[in-house]
Homo-oligomer: A and B are copies of this chain.
Amino acid sequence: MVLKTVTVEDILAYLGDDVLTVFGSVADRVIDNITDVARVNERSLDWINPDKEDKQTLAEQSKSKVLLVDSSIIYSSALRQQDKVLIVTSNPKYSLARIGNEFFVEKTIPSIHPTAIVSKAARIGANVYIGPYCVIGDASIGDDCFIDSNVRIYDGVIIGARCNVKAGAVLGGSGFGFERDKDGNQFRFPQIGGVVIGDDVEIGANTCIDRGALSDTIIGDYTKINNLCHIAHNNRIGRNVTITGCVNISGSSIVEDNVWIAPNVSLRGFVHLHRGCVVGTGAVVTKDIPENETWVGNPARKLEKR
């Protein structure tokens, strides 16, 4: 459990306009952790989920003395008697996430580790971190990117700002395209496209994103890709797409904005997932999926509302 002493006043200052009201006495109050429900203690910053039916009771029974709540929680005599502080925001979990990122997540100092091998022709933005044992070709990496250890980035990869590339990821490797020679043996079709990654993208550990064959592989802004995914050549992935663990996106597919792809899904090549659709765990997608529909199964079919 990460322990850091933070004053409630500093929290309120950081949240700024997010704070609708504060109940209880703030002076000299501190918290030193945020943690899961089983470990919440007197010095935790806790939060109450607005969707819970028994949220008032949860607030009153929390071991924590400082709580993030929404405006449906009443500053009851029980809360008052325990001298609890309520920080009221419209979205307590969002506020908790902001506080956690600001006060409890270790910040890395931008730097290029001396063991990272970076091509002289690479364009590296401002405030970039590149970890040990990375190998980076003639690529472009935007400002404020974090590239973890043992990452391989090939020539022709363009990465936007504030991206997070986790350990062991491989970006821009040759796509998997082959022809047969006159003896029927396979040989590589040239893979000379690029990879273009937007801003605020996350790429998971040991995930692979192949370069395009003759066109580019494209990943849109705010898209988050988890560990051990394979994104094949020529895919075009939109903005704010969520690609969870072990997903395989075969070549030349289109995934529009705000699509949500559950773990271990596989897409056949050349399919088109329209905006906002959801693909369930382990689904095998062999056809296009219309906007906002949820598909599951092998082969994937529309999940009818029950």
* Residues of A that sit less than 8 Å from B by CB: 1-2, 34-36, 38-39, 93-94, 97, 100-101, 104-106, 115, 117, 131-133, 135, 148-150, 152, 155-156, 164, 166-168, 170, 173-174, 176, 178-181, 184-194, 200, 202, 204-206, 208, 210, 212-215, 221-222, 224, 226-230, 232, 234, 240, 242, 244-246, 248, 250, 262-264, 266-268, 281-282, 284, 286, 296-299
Contact = CB atoms under 8 A, between A and B. Distances in A.
Contacts of A170: 166-168, 205-206, 227
A94 B190 contact: no
Query: 9 nearest interchain CB pairs?
Result: A100-B190, A282-B284, A264-B266, A36-B215, A230-B245, A152-B167, A170-B205, A208-B227, A246-B248
25 contacts: A1-B194, A34-B192, A38-B215, A97-B187, A132-B133, A133-B133, A149-B152, A164-B188, A166-B173, A166-B174, A168-B170, A168-B206, A176-B204, A176-B224, A226-B232, A228-B228, A232-B245, A245-B248, A246-B246, A250-B281, A264-B264, A264-B284, A266-B281, A267-B281, A281-B284
Contacts of A213: 36
Q: Copy number of this protein in the oligomer?
A: 3
A122 B179 CA distance: 33
A93 B188 CA distance: 12
Given A105-B190, A262-B268, A205 B208 contact: yes
A115 B132 CA distance: 10
B150 A133 contact: yes
Contacts of A100: 189-190, 192
A37 B213 CA distance: 12
A208 to B, nearest CB: 4
A117 B132 contact: yes
A210 to B, nearest CB: 7
Contacts of A178: 224, 242
Contacts of A164: 188
> Max chain B CB contacts within 10 Å: which of A132, A189, A206?
A206
A166 B35 CA distance: 31
A293 B80 CA distance: 50
Nearest to A101: B190
Contact of A222 (B35, B185, B284): B185
Contacts of A156: 2
A204 B176 CA distance: 9
B190 A97 contact: yes
A285 to B, nearest CB: 8
